[in-house]
């Protein structure tokens, strides 16, 4: 048995050596694979540089042709006028608002002029001139970050750490933002104040939102009455205590007449406590009144450009608004580039034609 033991140890050493060799080979293959990817990417980049260099004149000509085309279309095409308003939602009206705009948009797309003029209360000429309805949240990136921070404040600390900003934006609907911008595009420079007023009135007259508004206003007014009553009692109590202090002073009772405020140990007189409470009640009453003012309107206009509209000659390119000249220059340059790539690819495939 003593002779079999060294043979067993040697066998185990051989197995471990083979294992480490396999692991080493696996890592070598992995690194070679990654290196080959970077090598292919570098070769593709070099090929692309030389491809662009070879066809740069064609691409420049396409870009110039796009600029010229954009200038011609800008001069000859009918102008498009844009009117818009920015709304503040004091209730969760966003979904209804977006559905309404979507409905008007579909009527324009279907060219259902009669229904459009009846729904919006406008003339046939005005209805025929409308090209599109649009709605989008009027919010900046900084405001989105602030909303995200406010949302995190409502969550448990452990749960808040698991929520990412991108996930928050993905799960946030556009209509949930308080400020929204509605845009009307038209062929004629018309005043669409009537249209915007009708859109707002349709939301303000919604039965559900009116009931919610009535309940909120009733509750806030009751709170205001309760705070006002407490304020009157606080003022009365403060006046009584001040009279008591004056009377004590007249009777030469110095101990009762002293007013001491020590911030360190937070000691104060009853008069100071009553005065502080009075200020808090007044501030609460102001805040309640502000809420009442906000709830007076379900939605309201904060800014507008609806008198005669402005010319909208911008084009959308990957979410960015650019001039027609830049737009057509980029489009023609990209189309030319794709066409040249396609021709080069076909020539590459023709090299394998005889091998098939």
Predicted confidence (pLDDT) per residue in 42-79, tens digit? 988 898 888 888 889 999 999 999 899 888 888 887 88
pLDDT at site 302: 85
Residue range 104-115: mean pLDDT, rounded: 91
Domain range holding 120?
81-209+299-317
Q: Do 264 and 196 belong to one domain? A: no
pLDDT at site 258: 47
- Non-local CB neighbours of 336 within 8 Å, separated by 6+ positions: 58, 59, 62
Residue range 223-231: mean pLDDT, rounded: 87
pLDDT at site 231: 82
Q: Do 234 and 123 belong to one domain? A: no
Q: What is the DSSP string of 240-294?
A: HHHHHHHHHHHTT-HHHH----BTTTTB--HHHHHHHHHHHHHHHHHHHHHHHHH
Are 293 and 218 a contacting pair, CB within 8 Å? no
Q: Do 40 and 147 belong to one domain? A: no
* Residue bearing the bigger pLDDT, 7 or 85: 85
pLDDT band at 150 (very low <50, low <70, confident <90, very high): confident
Residue range 150-162: mean pLDDT, rounded: 85
Q: Do 165 and 102 belong to one domain? A: yes
CA distance 84 to 307: 10
pLDDT at site 252: 56
pLDDT at site 250: 66
CA atoms within 13 A on the CB side of 146: 6
- What percent of the residues of the chain are helix, what percent strand, and what percent coil, each to the nearest 5? 70, 15, 20
pLDDT at site 156: 83
Most confident of the following: 59-63, 125-129, 239-243, 250-254:
59-63
138 closest CA partner among 83, 66, 192, 89 = 89
Could you give the percent of the chain with pLDDT greater than 90?
Answer: 17
- The overall average pLDDT reported for the chain is 82
Residue 355 lies in a domain: no
Residue range 264-278: mean pLDDT, rounded: 64
Residue 212 clears pLDDT 60, i.e. is over it: yes
Domains of the chain: total? 3
Residue 142 lies in a domain: yes
Burial of 17 per CB tally in 10 Å (0-12, 13-18, 19+):
exposed
pLDDT at site 312: 75
pLDDT at site 15: 65
pLDDT at site 83: 87
Q: Do 122 and 185 belong to one domain? A: yes
Q: For the chain, what is the radius of gyration of the CA atoms? A: 37
Could you give the percent of the chain with pLDDT greater than 70?
Answer: 85
Q: Do 97 and 200 belong to one domain? A: yes
Q: Do 23 and 97 belong to one domain? A: no
Q: Do 264 and 305 belong to one domain? A: no
Most confident of the following: 5-14, 68-77, 230-239, 344-353:
68-77
Lowest-confidence segment of 14-18, 44-48, 262-266 by average pLDDT: 262-266
Q: Do 85 and 198 belong to one domain? A: yes
Residue 258 lies in a domain: yes
CA atoms within 13 A on the CB side of 266: 0
Q: Do 134 and 40 belong to one domain? A: no
Residue 4 clears pLDDT 60, i.e. is over it: no
pLDDT at site 218: 92
Lowest-confidence segment of 198-207, 266-275, 308-317 by average pLDDT: 266-275
pLDDT at site 238: 73
Q: Do 183 and 267 belong to one domain? A: no
Q: What is the pTM of this model?
A: 0.68
Residue 119 clears pLDDT 50, i.e. is over it: yes
């Amino acid at each position: 048995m003593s002779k079999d033991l060294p043979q067993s140890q040697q066998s185990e050493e051989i197995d471990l050596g083979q294992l480490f060799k396999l692991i080493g080979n696996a890592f070598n293959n992995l690194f070679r694979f990654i290196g080959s990817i970077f090598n292919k990417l570098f070769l593709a980049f070099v090929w692309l540089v030389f491809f662009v260099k070879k066809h740069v004149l064609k691409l420049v000509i396409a870009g110039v042709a796009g600029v010229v085309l954009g200038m011609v279309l800008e001069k000859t095409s009918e102008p498009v006028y844009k009117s818009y308003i920015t709304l503040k939602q004091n209730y969760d009206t966003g979904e209804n608002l977006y559905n309404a705009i979507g409905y008007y948009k579909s009527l324009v797309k279907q060219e259902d002029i009669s229904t459009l003029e009846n729904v919006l209360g406008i003339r046939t000429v005005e209805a025929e001139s409308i090209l599109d309805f649009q709605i989008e949240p009027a919010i900046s990136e900084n405001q989105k970050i602030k909303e995200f921070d406010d949302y995190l404040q409502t969550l448990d600390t452990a749960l808040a750490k698991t929520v990412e900003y991108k996930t928050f934006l993905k799960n946030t609907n556009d209509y949930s933002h308080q400020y929204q911008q509605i845009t009307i595009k038209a062929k004629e420079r018309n005043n669409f104040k009537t249209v915007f007023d009708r859109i707002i009135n349709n939301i303000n007259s919604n039965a559900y939102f009116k009931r919610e508004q009535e309940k909120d206003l009733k509750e806030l007014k009751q709170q205001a009455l309760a705070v006002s009553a407490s304020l009157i009692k606080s003022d009365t109590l403060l006046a009584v205590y001040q009279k008591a202090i004056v009377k004590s002073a007249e009777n030469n009772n110095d101990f009762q007449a002293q007013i001491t405020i020590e911030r360190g140990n937070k000691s104060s007189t009853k008069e100071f406590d009553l005065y502080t409470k009075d200020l808090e009640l007044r501030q609460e009453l102001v805040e309640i009144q502000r809420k009442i003012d906000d709830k007076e309107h379900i939605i309201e206009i904060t800014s507008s450009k609806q008198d005669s509209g402005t010319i909208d000659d911008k084009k959308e390119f990957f979410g960015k608004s650019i001039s027609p000249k830049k737009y057509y220059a980029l489009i023609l340059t990209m189309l030319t580039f794709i066409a040249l790539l396609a021709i080069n690819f076909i020539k590459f495939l023709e090299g394998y034609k005889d091998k098939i």
